[in-house]
Structures are given as C-alpha cells and as structure tokens.
Amino acid sequence: MTRGRLDGKHRGSCEGLSGMYASVLTFVERTLGGVLALAVCQGGDATNSVDLLGQSVWTPVLDTMRSKLGEVFTPANPDRFHHVRPSIPNFTTSMSFVASLEQLCLSPGAALRFRSTHVQPFRDSWNLVVYMQLRQNELNQVLAASKATPRPMDSTFAFPVTTATWHVLVKTWADGVVLAPLVAASARYSLTVLSQYMAYWRDPLESAVALVANASKTAATLFADVHHPGLTSCDDVYCLGSDLHRLGMHHVVELARMERSCWDTAAVLVSDECKKVLPAVRTIKGQYQMTNKPMPTTPSTYVATVTRPLDEFLAKWREDVGTHPLASDVLSTTMDSYASAALDLLKSATELEESLKSRKNQRLMM
C-alpha cells in the first residue's frame, strides 16, 4: 500500500485505491483463506478465539492508510470522496472493501466482532460531516443563483427557483451523493430546502390573494403592491400554481394549500374577466322595449363571449389545475352575476310596463 499505487495514473487522484483494495483482498483470500476458516478464527469470544482477520489483516491496513494515505479520508472533492466512477476512490468503495472482508467471517459471532471492533472505527475516520457540508454548500449556491435567473422559455417549471429546488432535492438523494450514514442528515436538508421554497412564496402569495379578494384596483395594477419579483401579474399566479402542481408533492400540506390558493385566486380573476361583458344585458331593454322590433330568436352577440376567458384559461392551464373545481367555481360565480343582471333587467322592464299601463288607464278615465 504505497502512495504511488494510490495515485494510479494521475498524481493526487487516488484513482488506484480500488485496485489496491482488490490486491489486499486477493492476497488475504489466497494466503490466509484456509486459516481464517478454522473454528479458532471464527469465534466471537476473545477468550477462546483468535481475531486473525481484525488484528493481523485489518489493523495493519487501517494503520497504513491513516499514517501514509490520509488524503483518502479528506472530502475536499465531494465527487472523489463519494463514488461517481469505478476508477475514483471514495467512501462507498472503501465500505465495499470492508464488506468483502467481513464475508470472510463465516460465523455470526465473528462477523459481529469484526463489525463492532474494527469497522466502526474505520467508518469514524471519514469526515462525513464535512462531506455533507460541502455538498450542501454546493447545492445552496444553485438555489441562491436561481433567484436571479431569468425565467426560461422551455422548462418543466415556470420559475427558476422551482427548477433549482427540484434539482437540489433530486441530487440530494442521487447515487453519487447520498451516503447511508447520512440518510437522516439528507432528510433534514431536504426538509430545509422545501421550507425555504415555501417561505420564498408564502408571504407574497398571501398578499396577492388578499389584494385580489379585496380588489379596488384593476388586475393589471394591483400586483404592484405585492412587492415580489416573482408575482407581478395574474399570469405569475397561474405559473406558481402550475409549478406547485408539477412538483407533485401533494402530501406536503403547506404546498398543497399554496397550490389551492393559486387556483382559488385564479378563479376570482377569471370570473372577473367573464363578468366584464355582463353590462351588455342592460342594453337589451333599450333595443326592444317601446320599439317595433320583433322578438329576438337568437342569443345576443355578447352571450358567446361570457365564458371566453374561462375557455382560454383552461386551454393553457387545464392539466395543471388538476382536481381543483376552478371551472365550476368560475361558472357558478359568473352565472350568479348573470342571473342577477337579468333579474334586474326584467324588474326594470316590468316596472316600466306597469307605469305605462297606469298612465294609459288614467288618460282613458279622463
């Protein structure tokens, strides 16, 4: 076990570690395989057995690595520290070597002694905490950069921050990044990333929802009061709803609530657009009452345009709306306003007819 063999073809690369492990394993199997299989070497009790594998094989290997090849345990390069390509030394390859040695323990007692006495100290030699910090710093830089990235034209997600969040979550658990001893730490980091993503959108979304619900301005101007670079228009609310839906994390209560808020707000905005043509209902009275025009046989021209904003919205966002009852909400709200306008028209027409009839009767009585 020399530095030259560790370096392989490239100085400082540690690419020869896997070959070095293989040579040690081959030597042990050929030279000591028969001896290690003896009952005296397979006991779990130190008082009546010999720990040949641990004391005569593993301890010298570990001492040599610590004294001469300490860079193996240094996670300065996270990709080299982990296992990305078969030729690169890393934690995974080293633990695989340990597992191969453990297979030489033919009894449960011998395996338990080897694992508890020798494997755990070896595992502790790795700077896993530093490795995790380096990985997190690398991923945090991706998240930070996404907030200043222009919105892409062709991407699964509308907002770069959503794309980056998804990328970070996937990479955190990707082969070549996650390590078995760090599963709990990776889970905590994933939850932190999700929490930061929700915090990025929560307040501006709540502000936008409140402004839309109590709109005293037009949709084109009210988003200026949200004061957030991601929510500057109605379309941004729709895009956020789409991103939250495409993340597919409907089991995360807060994300699901935020998605519902987006589509609830969209329902209000689309309803308002549909209602813009309803004042045309009032024009019917002037077109036909007290005129010689025949009764209409076809709907007025405005009728076909009442639901046009909803049709246009669904043509673009139908798949992302999912199971949200947006269409029925829009139609219900719009038709309520339509019915109210129609009733007002009929009431006005009836009052006028009664007034004219009353005047006519008064003239006849004179």
Convert the pLDDT of each residue in 109-150 to its tens digit.
888 888 888 887 777 777 778 888 888 998 999 999 888 777
Domain boundary among 126, 156, 172: 126
- Do both 201 and 281 map to the same domain? no
256 pLDDT band, cuts 50/70/90, is very high
Domain extent, residue 101, equals 3-126
3-state class (DSSP) for residue 74: coil
Query: Which of 214 and 194 is assigned the larger pLDDT?
Result: 194
Q: Is the pLDDT of residue 190 over 90?
A: yes
User: For the chain, what percent of residues have pLDDT higher than 90?
Assistant: 35
What average pLDDT does the segment 52-72 reach? Answer: 78
Domain boundary among 86, 102, 126: 126
What average pLDDT does the segment 181-201 reach? Answer: 94
Of 21, 126, 119, 123, the residue nearest 73 (C-alpha): 126
pLDDT in tens, 85-118: 333 346 778 888 888 888 888 888 888 888 888 8
pTM of the model: 0.74
Q: What is d(CA 35, CA 42) in angstroms, rounded to the nearest whole number?
A: 10
Q: Is residue 263 part of a domain?
A: no
**What does the mean pLDDT of the chain come to?**
83
Query: Which of 18 and 165 is assigned the larger pLDDT?
Result: 165
Query: Which of 259 and 122 is assigned the larger pLDDT?
Result: 259
- Do both 249 and 156 map to the same domain? yes
pLDDT for 84 equals: 37
- Do both 148 and 194 map to the same domain? yes
Task: Indicate the number of domains in the chain.
Answer: 3
Q: Is the pLDDT of residue 2 over 80?
A: no
Q: What is d(CA 55, CA 47) in angstroms, rounded to the nearest whole number?
A: 15
User: Amino acid identity of 338?
Assistant: Y
Asked whether the beta carbons of 164 and 152 are under 8 A apart, the reply is no
217 pLDDT band, cuts 50/70/90, is low
- DSSP letter for 71, please: G
- DSSP letter for 152, please: P
Q: Is the pLDDT of residue 218 over 70?
A: no
Q: Is residue 272 part of a domain?
A: no
- Do both 7 and 111 map to the same domain? yes
Query: Which of 332 and 60 is assigned the larger pLDDT?
Result: 332
- Do both 231 and 283 map to the same domain? no
pLDDT for 70 equals: 60
pLDDT for 47 equals: 72
249, 268, 330 from 217: Cα distances, Å: 34, 14, 20
